[in-house]
């Protein structure tokens, strides 16, 4: 349902996502199959990552991965 709601925007506007705790029960497979996030500068799987745009650096992750 959520994916249907954002489809009209997501098809044209780039955005970055972060894995959430609701994905843990499915071994993050739904997230991995739907989103292709950077693999370089992170865990190699796109579940956490960092990137820099001009002079600003961003770090994306989730604490649930620490306890998995």
What are the backbone dihedrals phi and psi of residue 15, each rounded to the nearest 5 degrees, phi first?
-150, 160
Asked if residue 65 has pLDDT above 60, the reply is: no
Kindly report the pTM of this predicted structure. 0.65
Query: pLDDT above 70 covers what percent of the chain?
Result: 90
DSSP classification of residue 25: G
Asked if residue 12 has pLDDT above 80, the reply is: yes
Q: For residues 33-45, give the mean pLDDT.
A: 79
CB atoms within 10 A of CB 28: 19
Q: How far apart are the C-alpha atoms of 5 and 10, rounded to whole Å?
A: 9
Predicted pLDDT at 16: 85
pLDDT band for position 43 (cuts 50, 70, 90): confident
């Amino acid at each position: 349902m959520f994916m249907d709601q954002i489809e009209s925007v997501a098809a044209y506007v780039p955005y970055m996502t972060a894995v959430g705790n609701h994905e843990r029960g499915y071994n993050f497979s739904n997230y991995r199959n739907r989103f292709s996030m950077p693999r370089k500068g992170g865990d190699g799987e796109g579940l956490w990552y960092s990137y820099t745009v001009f002079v600003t650096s961003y770090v994306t992750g989730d604490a649930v991965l620490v306890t998995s």
